[in-house]
Amino acid sequence: MFCSLSDALLISIGVAGISIFLNNYIDLVSDWLFGISAIWLVGYGLLRLRDAVIGKSILITENSSANGLVSTLSILVVLTFANPHVYLDTVVLIGSVSQQFPGDTKLAYVIGASIASFVFFFSLAYGAKYLSPIMQKPAAWRLLDSFIAFIMFTLAIKMAQAVS
């Protein structure tokens, strides 16, 4: 829940913040934003493709005692807000993409992106329990890395196509 709410907050800040910052300059910088976003996604896709080919990804599980709520939330705060990727993904990338939507449709975009984030994090949390035995196998990691690479390349193509 914490990760989902944090993502929704950062998505909202990204859409609102970038909109205010770039409102008068969007025509001048949108090609740069979409171009840089496409390059970033290609780079990330290449990293996932490399891992899919090498196949060295592994899931390490440990038996540990449950931490308390405060300890868990403290770790989540650091992992969320000290991670530069969260800002690149939510504030910069999602905020930049929102610039193609006029007026009130940006609110629908924020709601849709936030719902997607909730679905992602809850699926990740609940799915992890069921998928952990499967993810012990290197072939499963290769498949996952290949799928992520495909998604990153697809998004990069869409971003590049948005450049006028």
Task: Render each residue's pLDDT in the chain as its tens digit; 164 residues.
Answer: 999 999 999 999 988 877 666 656 666 777 787 788 889 889 989 999 998 998 777 666 665 566 788 988 998 999 888 887 788 788 878 887 888 888 889 999 999 999 999 999 999 989 888 888 888 888 888 999 999 999 999 989 988 888 76
Q: How far apart are CA 37 and CA 89, in angstroms?
A: 9
Give alpha helix (H) positions in the chain.
2-22, 26-54, 69-81, 84-86, 95-97, 105-131, 138-162
- Tokens at residue 60, please? 């390490």
**DSSP per-residue string spanning 11-36:** HHHHHHHHHHHHTTTHHHHHHHHHHH
Q: pTM of whole model > 0.85?
A: no
